Structure 1
């Protein structure tokens, strides 16, 4: 029987990748310094052949010394582990000079030297749009993210997000339902899944979408890595849609990077009473495009739906589906409200209201917000 197990890349083929990893791992050498050296010497191999004196003409002496040093045992172990990782199906590494490297990302101010890829590499050449938002998202926000992402995917766009909890997770879930699929940009090495509760989602994305990281194998979930990976989310995408964001949300970093990179920024408005809408409202004040439907995003990006008509974020439930709870839902409206205020609107007693709200919450029609407020959940089309 013929052995069909994946084979490691040849030593000659991997040697070139190893030089890139060595450059990326060099102490004191970041993306910008590495790009400067690549412009001067042409390739990582040429950089390491140059010698201390030639390197010191372009970078400080400490960096020249780091680049001139022999391969340390720790780096050698990393190279061996990476070689073995590449032997697995659908595992790839793209360098900044690789023709398959995403062209839009290549032209940001500090493009990653390496992209570690798990999944469908061809998605990196697809038209992309990012969908991001709060980790502590509301039920309504998650429903909106899932609906928008699915419609964007059905229109042929690949949805990019960060695989965080909340809006990111909902966006990936929705995008996996369409042919455009999804790309998750992570802040850890490809041998780590963070957050751990998204492990099953990560496996699904690796099977039918793509997971991308600039970080070497073994890189743990370090806090500083996540804001930094946001430049990749925006850099690969033609536009960034922010669904929910608090005033200090990390999603605003992604939106800011997108604006600086010349990308379109979209923001979904929310209630003036919701803390999770303040970030989106800030973006709108600063020039982001206010959108209420997927059509508006597609029109701005000059994309026509390929499969199904684009859908708006939500449609109200017909009155005849609300049964006896209709009066309470109508009194709730579409803004967060404290139970005491709701009791003033509808009358009755607090115990009966608490029971009715609990029934609606169990039915998925109402959610409880921080601070004790409640809000109606609109079913997404």
Structure 2
């Protein structure tokens, strides 16, 4: 229940958290680093490939994948996390004893072994249509951000994205071809600046480090970033204290102009931040 210490702290912060939910499997402290991956039940091959790749890459970084165990993108995301020996959480729209869709019985069992299946609906509850919008708020509520892979304009993933925005969570979307129904929703989210355009897990991790690490107060595992010789010089001379660009240029033995170009490149890569007065600091 919401009064138990095991109740996820991040879920308590949403507008309408479930007073109680039922759980099969186990939730761990690492699940505070969760990202939801959602999308259409009828994905294109493009959507399936990217959902699998993004889910696998995030799972390998220790990030828990949250989804709804529906056909299509949800199932791809769960399976990819499991394949990567990562953790995954399914939020379902029925009782824990009613597996829906039925063909996901094996997936259901795998998720309980390396994560958790949760539901706010009591045992015996059937997967009625009105249950799914309610469960979508929990998918986003458990997550630091929501990745929408593919969805039509009226898809449930659009509801999940809307919940995420209301909950002050990050929303990411994979762009798709104009005219493809499965990309109409994602393209609209990007066009309206309601979602950050992403093409890889690296894009998501960069946003998490820049925007969410200060809130969490913990380090999310960093990915490897390729640096030029000049960028390495700059990183090596910087420490925990902000430095003026002239000081950095002197220490790195670079001209001010070369130093500025490489500082901006490092900022783009999410390794440093620019402060007022031409000051720069490591992230």
> Shared fold (TM-score greater than 0.5)?
yes
Q: 1:115 to 1:269 in 2, by over 3 A?
A: same
Query: How far off is 1:143 after superposition?
Result: 1.5
Which residue of structure 1 aligns with residue 99 of structure 2?
193
- For residue 101 of structure 1, what is the aligned residue in structure 2? 7
Is 1:289 equivalent to 2:191 in the alignment?
no
- The answer for the alignment partner of 2:132 in structure 1 is 226
**TM-score for both structures, normalised by structure 1:** 0.54
For residues 286 and 307 of structure 1, what CA distance do their matches in structure 2 show?
30
Report the equivalent of 1:171.
77
In structure 1, C-alpha distance between the alignment counterparts of 2:85 and 2:32, rounded to whole Å: 11
The structure, 1 or 2, with the larger RCO (C-alpha pairs under 8 Å, 6+ apart) is 2
- 1:154–1:305 Cα contact (<8 Å) kept: no
Kept in 1: contact 2:171–2:196 (CA 8 A): yes
1:323-338 alignment, distance < 5 Å? none
Is 1:279–2:185 an aligned residue pair? yes
Which of these residues, 49, 54, 65, is aligned with residue 159 of structure 1? Answer: 65
Q: Counterpart of 1:114 in 2: which secondary structure?
A: coil
Please list the CA deviations of residues 85-129 of structure 1 after superposition, one character each: whole Å capped at 9, or x if unmatched. xxxxxxxxxx01111111111111110011211012226743100
Tell me by how many angstroms 1:286 deviates: 2.1
Q: CA deviation at 1:178?
A: 2.8
CA distance in 1, matches of 2:178, 2:97: 42
Check whether the contact 1:102–1:124 (CA below 8 A) recurs between aligned residues: no
Given candidates 122, 126, 129, the residue that maps to 2:32 is 126
Are the aligned partners of 1:123 and 1:209 in contact in 2 as well (CA < 8 Å)?
A: no
- Maintained 8 Å contact 1:132/1:161: yes
TM-score, normalization by structure 2: 0.73
Asked whether the 8 Å contact 1:129–1:157 carries over to 2, the reply is yes
1:300-341 per-residue CA deviation (whole Å, 9 max, x = no partner) reads 01178749769xxxxxxxxxxxxxxxxxxxxxxxxxxxxxxx
CA RMSD of aligned residues (A): 1.8
1:254 paired with 2:168, answer no
- The alignment of Structure 1 onto Structure 2 pairs a total of residues equal to 216
Q: Say whether the 8 Å CA contact 1:154–1:308 is kept in structure 2.
A: no
Residue aligned with 2:21, SS: strand
Residue of 161, 167, 171 corresponding to 1:265: 171
- Could you tell me which runs of 5 or more consecutive residues in structure 1 were left unpaired when the two chains were aligned: 1-94, 311-381
- What is the match of residue 118 of structure 2? 212
Q: 2:234 aligns to what?
A: none
Structure 1 residue corresponding to 2:53, chosen from 129, 147, 172 = 147
For residues 25 and 41 of structure 2, what CA distance do their matches in structure 1 show?
25
Structure 2: segments with no counterpart, 5+ residues: 214-218, 226-283
CA distance in 1, matches of 2:83, 2:223: 12
Q: For residues 24-54 of structure 1, what are the alpha-carbon distances to aligned partners after superposition, in whole Å with 9 as ceiling and x for unaligned?
A: xxxxxxxxxxxxxxxxxxxxxxxxxxxxxxx
Give the secondary-structure state (helix, strand or coil) at the position aligned to 2:28: helix
Cα deviation 1:185-204 (Å, max 9, x = unaligned): 00111111001011111011
> Shift of the alpha carbon at 1:214?
0.6
Q: Judge conservation of contact 2:47–2:149 (CA < 8 Å) in 1.
A: yes
Segments of 4+ moved more than 4 angstroms: 303-310
- Of 181, 186, 207, the residue aligned with 1:300 is 207
